[in-house]
Amino acid sequence: MNTNSALIVPAQSSAATNAAPPVFHDAIKPLIAIPNFWLWVLWIAGILALAVAGWFLWRYWQKKAATLRMSPPVPPHVHARRMLDYALSLISQPKPFSTAVSGAIRVYLEERFQFHAPDRTTEEFLYELQESQLLTPEQKQSLAEFLASCDLIKFAKYEPTETELRALHASALRLVNETEPRPFPAAPPLSVAGPPLIPATK
């Protein structure tokens, strides 16, 4: 067997030799996003709406702050009468009524005389009250009985009659009426009389 036989390579066809060489294209570029006109319009309109709403809100708070600065504070006796008027709407409920009535008097005494009444027990408040000269002895005694009656209803579960509740309300209102600030009496007009006239001599 002959082992030195030549390697036979098949001849290329004319079609293969005449084929065009492969062409490599560049990478495909991403598409350019074309902005939506109406989307921009909506964004701008939304920003303008927020700006206008913020301006109106700022103006509203400015006017409200100016009104609060111009309005005078409510006097203590007026505030107390309003609280006592509200307490009357609770007269069918003894415990809430007594709480509202005693709270009105405590707030009034703090606003009117700077007593530390709302955050103290009745005993602590009455002890401070005895050292004060802002109330008469009769008013102090009446106030002590008033607060004791309110505590009896609130903490001892005493069931008062409507007559007793109205008496408590009247006692509280009387204290406010007796201790509210009084306007100073108007001073009499000053005399502007000059020196006595001397009759002219003829």
Q: What are the tens digits of pLDDT across the range 34-71? A: 557 777 778 888 888 888 888 888 888 877 766 656 66
Compute how many other C-beta atoms are within 10 angstroms of the C-beta atom of residue 146: 20
Place of tokens 């007793």: 164
- Domains: count for the chain: 2
Structural domain including 104 reads: 76-179
**Predicted pLDDT at 189:** 55
Q: What are the tens digits of pLDDT across the range 109-159? A: 999 988 877 778 888 888 888 888 889 999 999 999 999 999 999 998 899
CATH of the domain at 97: 1.20.120
Report the distance separating Cα 106 and Cα 108, nearest Å.
5
**Predicted pLDDT at 197:** 47
**CA torsion, ordered 111, 96, 85, 176, to nearest 10 deg:** -40
Query: Could you tell me if residue 7 is inside a domain?
Result: no
Indicate whether 10 pLDDT > 60: no
Q: Are 66 and 90 found together in one domain?
A: no
Query: Could you tell me if residue 2 is inside a domain?
Result: no
On whether the pTM is more than 0.85, the answer is no
Q: Which of 71, 93, 122 is the last residue of a domain?
A: 71
